[in-house]
Amino acid sequence: MPGCDADPAVLAWARHYTRHPRQFESQLQAVMPRLVYVQQVADRYDVAGEFVLLPWVESHFQPVPARKRRPAGMWQIMPVTAGAMGLRVDGHYDGRLDVPAAANAVMKLLEQYHEQFHDWRVADYAYNAGEFTIRKMVQAHGMPAAQPAIPQWPVRKVTREHLAKLLGMACVVREPERFNVSLPTLPDEQQLVQTGISHSMPIARAADHAGMSVEALKHLNPAFRNNTIDTSAAPYLILPARHARQFRDALLEQADSSGGDLLAGASRGDTAPSPMPAVSPPRKVHTVRRGDSLWQIARKYSVGVSQLRHWNHLNGHALKPGQTLTVGAPD
């Protein structure tokens, strides 16, 4: 899409966003987990990369709560639009606030807009003003020329401004040094992952399994309106990678003790570890590597997670690279 100097309005918004460089960097750092997740979803669609930044324009990537007949979620989707996009909205669950569901629905919609209009600027106009309005605009005025970058159709000011904001934010990402800012990075441990579960459970229990506060888990999974993770609506949670591992470990440990299947659909080959043998295995020492989890280590040595924790006097599931774990009972 058009760059920084394509239109004065684009550059003006880029400067507006970065008028306080350190504050901008802090704000961007805070939303990086959601931004990176949206980028990963966008990679599956043939959508211009600038649209990864669309939630910044809409809500600064904040999960705006639902209100009657008002837009909601970080994409600011209206209730009637949600239905057309295939997002469930009811008293128990609001798909507009479901990060994976809404991101996929929006990217699919933008892809459809581009297939119809063949211009990403017009696709953005359609997202803001509605497809029907833009179709009428095309019928009345034809497709816009390449210049000016912000099409001068007789649309509402907020629609032209919406595109200028999107291109302005993309301008900052494209040329951060021009605005005296540094773009933050996101450690692997903080990246959001979709973690499947097969049984509904109270949010408080899910938070305990993940080693997070209830408030933090709700902030990442605000689609569940009650205090229950309802798997009939969404059989997954969005969690930071390190908390996702802890969550899976806790469910597997619970499944080991209850014989139930509490975990389904999670990534990285999430199947229950082999039953612990009746005779304790010979003692071994395992040095924790980056990305290791208790479940992975337990599976490698064919022992139970609970036994591994007992042998090493571990109260939680957190591990650090370089940490050594004893595998096997004391002699």
* Angstrom distance (rounded) from CA 166 to CA 186: 22
| Length of the chain as a residue count | 331
Q: Which residue, among 214, 217, 226, 169, has the nearest Cα to 192 in the 3D structure?
A: 217
Looking up tokens 């291109």 gives: 167
pLDDT tens for the 331 residues of the chain, in order = 999 999 999 999 999 999 999 999 999 999 999 999 999 999 888 899 999 999 999 999 999 998 888 999 999 999 989 989 999 999 899 999 999 999 999 999 999 999 999 999 999 999 999 999 999 999 999 999 998 999 989 999 999 999 999 999 999 999 999 999 999 999 999 999 999 998 999 999 999 999 999 999 999 999 999 899 999 999 999 999 999 999 999 988 877 766 555 554 444 333 333 333 334 446 789 998 876 777 678 767 767 667 788 888 887 667 888 899 998 876 5
Looking up tokens 């097969």 gives: 198
* Angstrom distance (rounded) from CA 4 to CA 9: 9
Q: For the domain 284-327, what is the CATH superfamily, name and number?
A: LysM domain (3.10.350.10)
pLDDT value for 116: 95
pLDDT value for 299: 65
Number of other CB atoms surrounding residue 301 within 10 Å:
18
* Angstrom distance (rounded) from CA 176 to CA 22: 12
Alpha helices (H) along 43-154: 54-59, 79-84, 99-117, 120-129, 131-141
Alpha-carbon distances of 224 from 90, 153, 189, 244, 278, rounded to whole Å: 10, 40, 24, 18, 42
* Angstrom distance (rounded) from CA 59 to CA 164: 15
User: Hey, where are the domains in the chain?
Assistant: 4-179, 188-258, 284-327
Q: Which residue, among 177, 254, 174, has the nearest Cα to 209 in the 3D structure?
A: 254
CATH number of 4-179: 1.10.530.10
Q: Which amino acid is at 55?
A: P
pLDDT (tens digit per residue) in 281-314: 467 899 988 767 776 787 677 676 677 888 888 8
Is 284-327 in the same CATH topology as 4-179?
A: no
Q: Are 155 and 137 in contact (CB under 8 A)?
A: yes
Burial category of 321 from C-beta neighbours within 10 Å (exposed 0-12, middle 13-18, buried 19 and up) = exposed
pLDDT value for 267: 40
pLDDT value for 264: 45
Alpha-carbon distances of 158 from 24, 119, 164, rounded to whole Å: 23, 19, 10
Type and span of the H or E element at 300? helix 294-301
Q: Where are the beta strands (DSSP E) in 118-233?
A: 192-196, 201-202, 228-229
Which residues contact residue 244 at a Cβ distance below 8 angstroms, ignoring those fewer than 6 apart? 193, 195, 210, 237, 266
What is the pTM for the complete model shown? 0.76
